[in-house]
Structures are given as C-alpha cells and as structure tokens.
Chains A and B, each alone.
Chain A
Amino acid sequence: MRDDLRLGDAPLDDLPALCEQRLGVAVTRAQISTEGLRAASILDAERAAAAAVLSMDDLELSNNPRLTRVCLAHELCHLLFDPTKPGSVQVALDDADSATRTAKPSPGALLESRAKGFAAEFLIPHRGVSALLGGRADATSDRTEARQRVSLVREHFDTPWKIASLHLGNLGWIDRGLAQQMGDEGAGGGVSRPLSSLLCDDETPLLAQKLLATHPLDASLPADVLTRDDPPAWLDGVRATAAANARAALDLCLARAREALRAGRPRAAAFAVGERLDDYLLDADWPAAAALLDAIDVTEFPPAVLTAALVATRPVPDALQRTRTAFFGRAIEAMRARGALSEAELADIESRLR
C-alpha cells in the first residue's frame, strides 16, 4: 500500500491528512457513548463514503498521539480490506483492550489480527526498519540491544513502544519471546511530534469541511462526489501485494526447511515448518496456516517434517479441519510410498496424529 501511495519507507507524518486527502476517509474525534469503545470505522453500502471515528473519552488515546496513529492505521485496514457485503453498511468497532488482547479464533478475530498486523507494517515498514537499523535481522535476544532497537524504531516511526517491540519481533530483529515480554514492559517517554492535523474534539472532519466549502449545505452535493460504485483502482494492487508478501513468507519458510535438509538436519527442517505454522496458529491466521499445509510437497520432505506439521496443528482448529485432513492423507500416503517406515510405525503416526 505504501508503494501504491508512493509513500516510500519513511515515517508517516500526518496520518489523518493522509486518510482524508489521499484516501477520502473522513477522520473525526467524537464522544462515543458505548463504554470502552476506543475507535470505530464505517463504510457505506456503496463504498462511496468512509469514516474513522476516534473516541474523545479515551484518556489513553487523548494523551498519546502515537496510539492515535496506530488506531487510525488499524481502522484504515478495516475500511480497505475487511470483506464487504453488497448493499450493506460495514461497521468495525474496536475497544480499548483489543490492542493487547490475544485474538480468539473466529472470523472476526482474524480481521482484528490482520488490522493489527497492517497497522504495524504500515507505520513501521520492514524496508524502513532495515534501512534504519542496518545489516541483517538477527533476532537478538540481548535485552539491552533489543531495547536500543525498539527505542530507535519508536522514535523514528513515531509509534508506541509496544507496537515497535512486537513488530521488531515479527520482522526478526528481536527474539519473538523477548519482544513480547518487552512489549508488556512498555516504556515511558514523550511524543516526538503532535498528531498534526487531527481535529479537535467534535470538529467537522477536514474532508467534510472541504466539501462544505465548495458545496454549502443549502446546495445539493453533486452525485459524483458521494457515489462511487467501484473501489479505488489501486486497491486490487494492494491486495495483490499483500498476497505476494504472504506467499513470500511461506516460500522462505520452505526454503529454510530445504536448506536444513541439505545440511543433513531433518529435525531443524521440521522445526522451520512447524515454527511457522505455530506462529500462524498463535495469530489465529488460519488461511495462512492452510496455505502452508497446502504448499508442503509431501514427496519432497521426510517424515519428521510431515509429522511436525501435524503436531503443530494438533488439536486441529475447526477452521483448518478440512485442509489438515487432506494433508494428513497425502502425508501418510507419501510416507508409505517412500517405504522408509514400517506399517507399525505408520500405524503409530496415524493413531497419534490423525
């Protein structure tokens, strides 16, 4: 999306302005009577008008512009990528806990999980991190080094400590376990710059102000301003890029497994695949887990890799049931055809991991 909007890898300066001026999404702060609701987004049935609403009662949000940036990016993802139903208005609601809560497996949780991931990558692009930190991601487990990296990234990209820490964990610059731990620790520190054009509480969004300036309320708004049947042309491109990135992550995982096999380390190959699946499951990213199971060539990998994939997906999440059952069948058949395991060993695998 950064590529499509030609934003490069630099820190995003004025996110509300970006939402309003480049994407046509109205941004406003308002009093929300629903208790605990931090932000919401709404998209009309024709995909012609969209708005992100931030609560003006949320103290943390009011006091922390960095958090506001994350919320806006999060709502933007809902508006751009959540599945829509023709003829229906779409509303996404995000409460104050959703940023820290681990998503439970459900379609809604998947959308939340994706919005969190989008917000992190949109604000802290991996290429920008590489340029900032230099060298190669090495997943440091040294706490001092890790804190320095988080601090640098947080200041540069103007995000909260937690999101910087978690995202560096996801990008491989900090050990994931340590990143999660540090994310929970948090850190004090001020804000490097104000949120710029985000409006004062209850003010009319800039976009609406602009419309009203050219088309006062007593005049009818031209139809082409408020109706647009098709999503913007670049949206398909962004979706394709997202799919390509997901595929690249999957290919990288399989490449690592192959490399371990070439080095004569089947258990390391198994862990490379199983660890990736485990990550997807932790994030409740069932489609990604299913894609990985589908991508494993059962004739290429030894039993250790195939059974690791089965262990990682056990107990079987409902959303993965069909894909895993198919994978299980293919894996057993391939192991049998290879002849490396006895029937008793195959029966043992079947009874343990079906």
Chain B
Amino acid sequence: MSPRWRTDALTVPAAATLGPSPVHTHGGIAYLRSADDAPRHLHLAWHHVLRDDEALPVRTGWVEPALSAAALDDLAFAAELVSRRAENQSVPYGLALDRAHVDDRGVVKLEGEAGLTCATFVLIVFAKAGIPLLDRPTWDTDPDDARRAEDRVHQERLVQHLRRTTGAEAHAERVANEVPCTRFRAEEVAAATALTPRPVPYASAETAGRTLLRCVHR
C-alpha cells in the first residue's frame, strides 16, 4: 500500500512529516498538543536547533500513519515530552546512528555519536513510544552501490554546510569522520510510518519513500 502524504490539518494525534529542504528532504513529527489540541511540529532543524513550531513549513505535509489509536496517543505523548525540554535539549547534528536514544530520564542521549539527523531524531522519538520503525540492519546490507554513492555525496554536502555554520566548525570535522555511514533518509522514515508490519525493511521503505518524494516535489 502506498503512503499518503497530506498537507491539510492533522486529523490524528501524531504523524511523521516530510517536506523539501535545501539539501534534500526534511522530516519531523507533527502532533496535537494535549492541553488544547493545537498542532505542533517537533523537528531537528539543524545543528543544536531542536524546534517545536506552531505550524508545518510551507510544502511540508504529514504521512497517514498505520498505527493503532493507542500507539498514536503514545507517539503524541512522547513527542510532547521531548518537546517540553526542547529549549534545553541542545541536540547536535551528526550522521551516524548507532545507540542514540531517549534515556530513562527522558534525555536525548547520543552515546558517543556526533549527533542526529532530522530523520534519526524522528526514529528515536518513535522508539520512545515503543515503535521501532525501521529494520535498521537492512540499511547496512541492502542498498546498492549507486545508492551508497549518492548517500556519500549527500553526507559530504551536509558536512560542508556544517563547516559554514558559525560555531560548528570543529564539530563539522568530527562529523566528517563519520562519512560514509548508513543513511536513513527522511522520506524512508516517514514512509515506514505508513507501512506494516514493522520494523520495515529497506526495500519496502525505499520504494514507499520514493512515492512520497514524488508528492513532495510535485
């Protein structure tokens, strides 16, 4: 089943978002705030820029999730929990994802990694709600050479952007050492929220991710 990308008002408690970005695509989590059902958008915008915005950016939509009602409530709750500390959780940008998670005190814990991408940030918020989205080892084994080369180019561009970010010059060198590494694309993460069973393997998420990409760039 193809994922549905919607740009109308959010009709579920929470969902993954996807939109264009200068470097490819950008993803986050849209959720309805528990106190007043106001729509919010939690996303890692860039290096040390974890945002909880009032609205989705232009041309950004949400993906109809294939999650139970209870899981959607829990995801919205997890997003709101993380967002209430957004001002204090200074999350750096990084490419490799190994053991980063939200720890037993609700703090985003990097466990030695340089930081997170917008997509891996979404993954760990879903994980906080007990929703393992991706069959991550298949991203290590299944992509072909062309895909890996494309990912490497993309990652090098991100490092260049980091080098041009004020105050992130030294951090950029640390991130540069992570290249090349497994890349979970924002559209694949968003697509996986619409697929079952989970965790979703690379092949399914990649195909569904391309469908979403066409919607975003239409």
Contact = CB atoms under 8 A, between A and B. Distances in A.
Interface stretch (A19-27, A195-203, A345-353): A345-353
Contact of A274 (B68, B81, B86, B104): B81
A286 B131 CA distance: 25
User: Chain A interface: which size bin?
Assistant: 35 or more
B98 interface: no
Contacts of A307: 70, 73-74, 77
B70 A303 contact: yes
> Top 6 nearest A-B pairs by Cβ distance?
A352-B130, A271-B34, A317-B104, A177-B87, A267-B34, A268-B34
Give the secondary structure class of A's interface: helix
B168 interface: no
Contacts of B84: 176-177, 275, 278
Given A281-B105, A284-B105, A353-B130, A348 B78 contact: no
B35 A271 contact: yes
A352 B74 contact: yes
Interface of B: 13, 32, 34-35, 68-71, 73-74, 76-78, 80-81, 84-88, 101, 103-107, 128-131
Contacts of A345: 68-70
Given A310-B130, A311-B128, 16 more contacts: A105-B104, A265-B35, A268-B35, A270-B77, A271-B80, A275-B84, A282-B105, A311-B78, A311-B81, A311-B130, A317-B104, A317-B105, A320-B104, A344-B68, A345-B69, A348-B70
Nearest to A304: B73
A341 B73 CA distance: 14
Interface of A: 105, 176-178, 180-181, 265-268, 270-271, 274-275, 278, 281-282, 284, 303-304, 307-308, 310-317, 320, 341, 344-345, 348-349, 351-353
Q: Among the interface residues A310, A315, A345, which one has the most CB atoms of the partner chain B within 10 A?
A: A315
A75 B86 CA distance: 33
A131 B87 CA distance: 30
